[in-house]
Amino acid sequence: MDEFKLRFVPLGGVVGVTKNMYVYELYKGGKLEDILIVDCGIGFPDIDNENINYVIPDISYLKDKVSKIRAILLSHGHEDHTMALPYYYKDLGEPPVYTGKLTTAFVKNDFKEFGIPIKINEVDVNKTYTFGNFKADFIRMTHSIPDTLHLFIKTPIGNIYHGTDFKLDLTPPYGSPPDFHAISKLSSEGVLCLFSDCLGAETPGLTLSESAIGESFENEIKNTPGKFIMTTFSSNISRIRQCIESSVKYQRKIVFLGRSMRENTNIAREIGYLPFKNNLFVDDRTLRKTPPNKLTFIVAGSQGQINSALTKLATDQNVNIKIGKGDKVVFSSDPIPGNEAEVYKLIEKLMIKGADVVYPDIKERLHASGHGNQEDLKLLMRLVKSNFLIPIGGTIRHQRQYMKLAKQLGYKEHNVFLLNEGDSVWIDKSRMLLGEKIKTKTIYVSNEGTISDKIALK
């Protein structure tokens, strides 16, 4: 009988945190039968060039294998897991895409902007899907965006648990907690390898629940005499909803500022994820009629981005809204590593304007990470009980730390694989072996949207 073999090829998302794209290949008798792709996201360049918008995975490796791609599964709606898809959908042979409800809405919107159609299916977590010789179950998980899913991939040689970005939030403010029952039930069939988020592997304990933030918003709003301004990631719909609910208690109207914030909250409202009456939301024109202490601004730009709505507020570039004494600005986010200088500059600019600025360094519970800490990561290892482990979505630092956690649970070093981009791993019933290296280039996307492996100097 021809033996099946499974190969895993990460085209992004290992060593770097972003640009997630993972390829699973099934071979029978040495011949490639089926390919399943998980995620297809953007990343950020490690060079400073104002012509470059972002980077995307290099898919040249897949060029002569397109006919074998059975489906693309998207774990959640963050840009570093989805936003490269419109660039490559045609090249990948337009396979069907499967994902959760909010992700479907976000991705449809991205494709609309590109003016191209997409075959996208909202999944049912109670169903098992078949993609060639692969089968997959989708498991409800928690993260910093609703409708995050983990994937349980069944292959003729054994099962894979694909656990991208997650934290184990036992009390999410909306939506379901992680489906522990499904994780242990599916895993009881045996798991060859757990691919796990490892970004929180340096931080002890369990991750703070998203619910804790709602209470903080209320405390901050209560004693704000002027405008209340909250900034966070515009995809964090649960965070935004908690801020709106706290504002409603103090009779404040809501203003969204920034393109991504407006767009994402519009989509969330369309699918019922921000269930508030239309008259709660105020736009720039009707703003002047509402007193400052009856206004909450939910603003994009928590990373200090130069053209963001928050930077415009801080530098008087917004003609309708002035920041001053009595106003409060809450940063419900941590700076992404590398952005610290810009974020602190922005905080200082807002302070100089006279605003009271609070941020996670000086006050607890203003932000909860979307990534599991050490105990979250270990708990998933315990539940899945896989033979092998591969940390994904982290840098070498996080991978090494993940290895230490695995050892605490009795894993041997040779059962944990720390991968680089383009490394491939062969998996059969009893062992895993590093395969040949896949050559990948850095692919840049310019501000005009053109793709190139060379940097345009304009």
Residues, the chain = 458
Catalog residues that contact Zn ion under the rule CB under 5 A: 78, 165
Residue 60: phi and psi, rounded to 5, are: -55, -35
CB of 145 to Zn ion, least distance (A): 6
In terms of CB distance, is 68 or 78 closer to Zn ion? 78
Q: Which is closer to Zn ion, CB of 133 or CB of 207?
A: 207
Q: Write down the least CB distance from residue 68 to Zn ion, Å.
A: 28
Exposed e or buried b for every residue in 74-91, given b needs 16+ CB within 10 A?
bbbbbbbbbbbbbbbbee
Place of tokens 């003729």: 156
Single-letter amino acid, residue 335:
P
Cβ proximity to Zn ion: between 141 and 213 the closer is: 141
Least spacing, CB of residue 165 vs Zn ion, in Å: 3
CA dist 297 and 282 (Å) reads: 10
CB of 335 to Zn ion, least distance (A): 17
Residue 200 C-beta: closest distance to Zn ion, Å: 12
| C-alpha separations of 61 from 18, 23, 57, 153, 386 in Å | 19, 10, 11, 22, 29
Nearest to 196 by CA among 358, 410, 361, 418: 418
Judged by beta carbon, residue 26 or residue 42, the one nearer Zn ion is 42
Please say if 371 is a catalytic residue: yes
> Which of 58, 147, 165, 197 is labelled catalytic?
197
Give the separation between CA 369 and CA 232, rounded to whole angstroms. Answer: 12
Q: Are 168 and 178 in contact (CB under 8 A)?
A: yes
CB atoms within 10 A of CB 251: 8
The residues, ordered by sequence, that sit 6+ positions from 173 with a Cβ below 8 Å of its Cβ are 210, 211, 214, 238, 241, 242
For Zn ion, the closer CB: 78 or 349: 78
Helix, strand, or coil here: 331? strand
Nearer to Zn ion, 34 or 165 (CB): 165
CB of 301 to Zn ion, least distance (A): 19
Catalytic member of 78, 371, 398, 423: 371
Chain center to CA of 163? 12
Active-site residue, 398 included:
no
Report d(CA 351, CA 299) in Å as an integer.
Answer: 17
Residue 173 is encoded by which pair of tokens? 């403010």
Facing residues of 389 across strands?
194, 416
Amino acid at position 155, single letter: T
Residues marked active site are found at: 197, 371
